[in-house]
Amino acid sequence: QVQLVESGGGLVQPGGSLRLSCAASGSVFSIGAMGWYRQAPGKPRELVASITNFGTTTYADSVKGRFTISRDNAKNTMYLQMNNLKSEDTDVYYCKVIATGKQYWGQGTQVTVNS
């Protein structure tokens, strides 16, 4: 079992920055790929960015050049640095990890971009 706790969400003005964190505990030795997703009410959850345990990253086209995903394996923590935020980035952000073939999700953290 893996437990995930997200933090770092909040209210920011357009053009501002936030850094999300996802701290893992439990069977962390088994964690492979990690990722950030977001979901608006009534819409499907969509991938924002992912990172393998080798550090290979992928990004949604809408966030390329603005968001950076990273992980610190020593701290069992994943990050999402979000710069130049736009109103359309407003969503609940979730972290997900893959461990021993299973998916584990965090509880979500709200990001609101509004002037």
The pLDDT tens digits for 69-84 are 999 999 999 999 999 9
The more confident residue out of 36 and 1 is 36
Rounded alpha-carbon distances, angstroms, from residue 25 to 42, 104, 115:
30, 11, 36
Q: What pLDDT, on a 0 to 100 scale, did the predictor assign at position 28?
A: 80
Q: What pLDDT, on a 0 to 100 scale, did the predictor assign at position 68?
A: 98
The pLDDT tens digits for 24-68 are 998 888 889 999 999 988 999 999 999 998 999 999 999 999 999
With 0-12 CB in 10 A as exposed, 13-18 as middle and 19+ as buried, what is 74?
A: exposed
